[in-house]
Amino acid sequence: MNDVTELLYPREQFYARDRRSVPAARRFAAQSLRCWGLADWVRADDVSLCVSELATNALLHGVPPGRGFLLRLRYDGDVVRVEVHDSGTGVPKIADETDGEGGRGLFLVAALADKWGVCERELGKVVWAELRGARGGDGLNDL
């Protein structure tokens, strides 16, 4: 009777401003999906790619020297939410064809996620993506 049911299953990890943080963030996301029973979910690779792109964007554009970023993952029984918190200024945008090489990370996130966006925080911003259809991890409820 003293069991506590947690409706949201948050996991978070802080990463330094270092190129090795991106693969570490992907591994953390994969570990989180395993903990939630979603390792074989058909959208698990999409989560990994969103984490990779958002973490890379944070390192390139949102993390000043001497700082880092926070990766927060949440699962509510249907939706996996990826959040990358950084202390940089500016508002991320999807690159267009005239932006030259690179800059396609948010384009990929927008294509893979059901929803994505940017929120302000006291210092910096949070860029997030949500992927639906994770109920039970069997992929049967995917949109």
Find the mean pLDDT for residues 4-15.
73
Residue 2 clears pLDDT 70, i.e. is over it: no
CA 136 – CA 78 distance, rounded (Å): 8
pLDDT for the residue 86: 95
DSSP codes, 64-86: -TT-EEEEEEEE-SS-EEEEEEE
| Of 94 and 48, more confident | 48
Residues 6+ apart with CB under 8 A from 96: none
Task: State pTM to two decimals.
Answer: 0.84
The H or E element that residue 22 is part of is helix 21-35
